[in-house]
Structure 1
Amino acid sequence: MSTQQFEFTVDTRDRGTYDLTAMLAERLAACAVDTGLCHVFVCHTSASLMLCENADPDVRRDLETLMSRMIPDGDPMFVHRNEGPDDMPAHARSVLTGSELTVPVRAGRLALGTWQGVYLWEHRSHGQRRRVIVTVLGG
């Protein structure tokens, strides 16, 4: 069993989803692991990771609409606003959606379903540089 780890950054433009699937697949291929696990972690409290449909972008837009309705920017119930009206909502969104994912590795590839992709979900309304750490375990 081997363990390999790498890190990369994602420069986001604004709130929304950023597909990491191809980058993860490329890096995984270089690890030469046949069977194992790929653990992905985002090192931030106002962005998250999600496994989501990759065929129709309307799914991700609808999820953003849902999240905006559930946790609107500038809601007066929030006290924490150090970095603006989207600050606390971004933290709440991140807690609800999660900062890590684990995907099985089979035959040297991410064992994703037919319509699944791995996405970074930026919850701030302006661009950020996001660090992502990936740990691959297997043999």
Structure 2
Amino acid sequence: MESLELNVHTGAVERVVDLTSRCEQFLADVGAGDGLLHVFVPHATAGVAVIETGAGSDDDLLAALRDVLPPSGPAGRGWRHRHGSPGHGRDHVLPGLVPPYATLPVLGGRLVLGTWQSVVLVDTNVDNPDRRVRLSFLAG
């Protein structure tokens, strides 16, 4: 198995960061053939998704997450997990909806994605501006 840890600066705002080109570069660097690429975020407050980017879907995802996980907590009652900035408890619930991993097929050294699909890091935690992402290629 080949593995690499990426450092991703997300800053102090909610962000969806496209990792697709970094995933493709990793596969090229390790001389990948057929197999699986596993993308993992070792953080309790971030996730990995496969979505369309650049046409507004990334912003729509963040807006939907704000609706489903409002900073004020469920029904405005606040979050039980309360350390960090106001509303930070929602960040700890995020991985229940956007998992911290994705496993993707690789054929001939290339990610098998749909026409508009991208691999993204979803980070709503404004308290942690730097993230690690583990890429692991398992040959088939």
> What TM-score comes out, normalization by structure 2 length?
0.91
In 2, the alpha carbon distance for the partners of 1:65 and 1:54 equals: 14
Moved more, 120-129 or 30-39: 120-129
Q: CA RMSD in A?
A: 1.4
Which residue in 2 is equivalent to 1:37?
36
**CA apart distance, 1:86:** 2.7
Using the alignment, how far apart are the partners of 1:86 and 1:21 within structure 2?
A: 29
Output the CA distance in 2 between the equivalents of 1:35 and 1:5.
15
Q: How many residues align?
A: 136
- Structure 2: where are the runs of 5+ without partners? none
- Percent identity of paired positions between Structure 1 and Structure 2: 32
Equivalence for 1:50: 49
Taking structure 1 as reference, are residues 84 and 96 closer, same or farther at Cα in structure 2, changes over 3 Å only?
Answer: same
Query: Does 2:123 correspond to 1:122?
Result: yes
Q: Tell me the secondary structure at the aligned position of residue 7 of structure 1.
A: strand
One-letter amino acid of the counterpart of residue 126, structure 2: S
Relative to structure 2, which stretch is displaced further, 47-56 or 96-105? 47-56
| Matching residue within 57, 60, 63 for 1:62 | 60
Structure 1 unaligned spans of 5+: none
* TM-score normalised according to structure 1 size: 0.91
User: How far did 1:127 drift?
Assistant: 5.0
The CA distance in 2 between the partners of 1:89 and 1:5, in whole Å, is 30
2:79 alignment partner in structure 1: 78
